[in-house]
Amino acid sequence: MSLDNYRLKLKGKEFVPVVIGGMGVNISTAELALEAARLGGVGHISDAGTEALADLRYGTKFGRQKFERYRSYIGNPDKSNIHFDLETLAEAQKLHVADTMGRKRGDGAIFMNCMEKLLMNNPRETLRTRLAAAMDAGIDGITLSAGLHLKSFHVVQDHPRFRDVMFGIIVSSLRALKLFMRSAARVDRLPDYIVVEGPLAGGHLAFGPDDWFEYDLGIITAEVLEFLRGEDLDIPVIPAGGIFTGADAVHFMENGAAAVQVATRFTITQESGLPTVAKQEYLKAREEDIYVSTMSPTGYPMRLLKQSPALQTSSKPNCESLGYVLDAKGRCSYLERYYEELAANSNRFPVVDDKFCLCTQMRAYRVWTCGQNTYRLKDVTEKLPDGSYRLPKVEEVFLDYQHG
């Protein structure tokens, strides 16, 4: 048996059951996602850092313009008046989604991973804007990522595409799923698919640094499947986190999964947005180099490579041009720590050793988040004569999952 014996059925369409998960900021590039779609699967682009991403990819100057508007706040710890202009935000989102969708080939789909934990000093309106703009620009589906805003469906329920776009959620427990389902029922719209993300995944996690190993993706997935059966709900369930081979994936399919979501194997592909130096570090990583950190100012634990440059240096906050992590009151734990250190040692650059500036460091690809299996990547590619590792194409890894 191989994954190719199965198909993911979503809203009357059939896909190869390989979903490449969203990897912000632009690690899951349009080029990566488009390959998944060309091969008949599902690829994700990410909406983390929308305006910064547009500047990076399309030469816009959204960050510069925002900076000019708010430059007087430099040095002021109170950032509560720094806001995203919603029209500009929509423009940035549409640019990325429309450009990606315009290049789509093949029978697969392109979804957008929506990083709801980026509250952008106006959680409800910025979320509404991001979701609506992605739908306006023709996205096939939207995956609401962990850190769920329970009212996500409510904010776009009047959008003309609300019932036609494929909407999914990522949960890491049955409890989180039940909370979301209760809220979704109020707008008479259940998710079209459920990604169950276990403790071995990359990015932000719903498990703590000291207890993640007590949880098991197979068990959480089985609980979710049993709950859905009990409720007579036929919603595809897609496990994620630590599924490293086609054989691992088949095991989940035999136990009732509709597809698998994978990411780590694709971080080191030629199409991934990580710089080559980072890809080589991922390939060199040993198991002891990978840990679950509390350095992210979002408040969620995050799996990282110890070699991440963001762990070695502090940076000046850039809320004037970025500001994605600012909560509903314009606060961010990195910002607070930075100004505490500045007050304590005004004669030197503040060294913050327990948080990093997620906006600045992610934009510069200095946060090397990764899945727990990253140390196994070296086993599935070759070492070259110069000592570096060969970087595979997305197609090679995708087909390895599908037929391997």
Ligand X SMILES: Cc1cc2nc3c(=O)[nH]c(=O)nc-3n(C[C@H](O)[C@H](O)[C@H](O)COP(=O)(O)O)c2cc1C
Q: How far is the CB of 367 from ligand X (least distance, A)?
A: 9
Q: Can you tell me the distance from the alpha carbon of 195 to that of 193, in angstroms, rounded to the nearest whole number?
A: 7
- Binding to ligand X by residue 121, rule CB under 6 A? no
Out of 221, 315, 361, 373, point to the residue binding ligand X (CB under 6 A): 373
Q: Which residues of 346-379 are buried (b: 16+ CB within 10 A; e: fewer)?
A: eeeebebeebbbbbbbbbebbbbbbbbbbbbbbe
Scanning 116-196, the segments in alpha helix (DSSP H) are: 123-136, 152-155, 174-185
If one asks whether residue 296 binds ligand X (CB under 6 A), the answer comes out as no
Residue with tokens 């990978």: 290
Residue 42: strand pairing partners: 19, 109
Q: Which of 370, 377, 391, 397 binds ligand X (CB under 6 A)?
A: 370
Half-sphere exposure of 118 (CA within 13 A, CB side): 27
Least distance from ligand X to the Cβ atom of residue 201, Å: 4
Classify residue 310 by its DSSP letter: G
Choose, by CB under 6 A, the member of 122, 221, 261, 293 that binds ligand X. 261
| Coil vs helix vs strand at 261 | strand
Kindly give the pairing relationship between strand 13-15 and strand 302-305.
unpaired
Q: Quick one: which of 21, 43, 63, 297 contacts ligand X (CB under 6 A)?
A: 21
| Residue 38, token pair as written in the block | 């060309």
203 or 317: CB nearest ligand X: 203
To ligand X, the closest distance from the beta carbon of 204 in angstroms equals 7
Stretch that binds ligand X, among 54-62, 86-94, 197-205, 210-218 (CB under 6 A): 197-205
Residue nearest to ligand X as judged by C-beta position: 21
**371 is an interface residue for ligand X by CB under 6 A:** yes
Contact 12, 323 (CB under 8 A): no
Binding of ligand X at residue 243 (CB under 6 A)?
A: yes
The H-assigned helical ranges of 291-348 are: 333-344
Structure token pair of residue 241: 């986190």
Separation between Cα atoms, residue 223 and residue 177, nearest integer Å: 11
Kindly write out the interface string for residues 170-189 of this chain, putting x where it contacts ligand X by CB under 6 A and - elsewhere: x-------------------
| Interacting residues with ligand X between 62 and 81 (CB under 6 A) | none
By CB under 6 A, tell whether 241 contacts ligand X: yes
Per CB under 6 A, residues contacting ligand X are 21-24, 27, 46, 48, 113, 115, 145, 170, 197, 200-203, 240-243, 261-264, 267, 369-371, 373
